[in-house]
Amino acid sequence: MVILMISGKGHNKVWKEKQINEVKSNFDKYSTVAIACVESLPCAIERKYRALLKKDGAFIVNVKNRPVKIFLKDAKLELADKVKGTSVIILSNKSPFELFGMIKKNSGTTSAKVGAVVDIPIEIPAGDTGIAAGPALSDFKALKLDTQIRDGKIFIAKPKVVLEPGQKVDEKTLTILNKLKIKPMTVGMQIIGIYSKTESLLYLPDVLDVDYDDYRNMVAKAYADSTALAIGIHYVSKDTIARLIAKAHREAVAVNPDKNEE
């Protein structure tokens, strides 16, 4: 895999054209094209993504400069207008759903800032904090945490959710999160759109963000319900024939139990 850093600064026109030609030469080797925002993504997490994509055989390029956007339009992809801020193009042979799932699964965590909005419940766990009792105790009391002093250390007797999804981090909560080294903010590449060249379809994040456990449960329930309906109306298929025969036998026995004994 080749990783290109195209920022549009410090390079001449010949260099930029060479990089764009490299994108073009790789374009036909892949079936899936994704645009992802990496604005404010911590360097460590971005490196993790690049290593992951490289291992998977993908091709990734920054798209801060105009030539790449023009290339996307020339390729008749519905992605050029979606490039905002610092973004990357990812070329892959995974399906759009597989690529989205891999990127979502490998997101990371980072420390919060005052005013940041959390997207999951933030809980302070019970247990030994390892922090010496003293002035720090007032910080814990400010959040009305159930604390005790054990062996000279602050011990949290009961866990407590200090922030609900949608709430903003305030200074008092941030102080405790930092003291306990809790990193509540989920960060990762934000997929803007993924285009399937095979299907000629553009997938947006709300379609790609599938909860596979819920999906499997829904499919299993649908199968069970449809099978029950098919048996109820005596619909014959490879999935119902064995149950229909067994049902017919039970009903025949129920009608004439003496005959069955013979």
Q: State residue 176's pLDDT score.
A: 93
User: What is 122-184's CATH superfamily?
Assistant: Ribosomal protein L10, N-terminal fragment, domain II (3.90.105.20)
**pTM of the complete model:** 0.64
pLDDT at 3: 40
Straight-line distance from the first to the last Cα atom of the chain, in angstroms, rounded to the nearest whole number: 75
pLDDT score for 43: 84
Query: Could you list the mean pLDDT of each consecutive 10-residue stretch along the chain, which spans 262 residues?
Result: 42 64 79 85 86 86 64 66 75 92 89 88 93 90 92 93 92 93 88 89 88 84 90 87 87 71 52
**Spatial contact of 35 and 88, defined as CB atoms under 8 Å apart:** yes
Q: Where are the domains of the chain?
A: 3-107+188-209, 122-184, 215-261
Dihedral sign of CA atoms 217, 219, 224, 228 in order: positive
Strand partners, 185: 110
Q: In what order do the strands lie in the sheet with 153-156?
A: 127-132, 153-156, 147-150
The architecture of the domain spanning 3-107+188-209 is 2-Layer Sandwich (3.30)
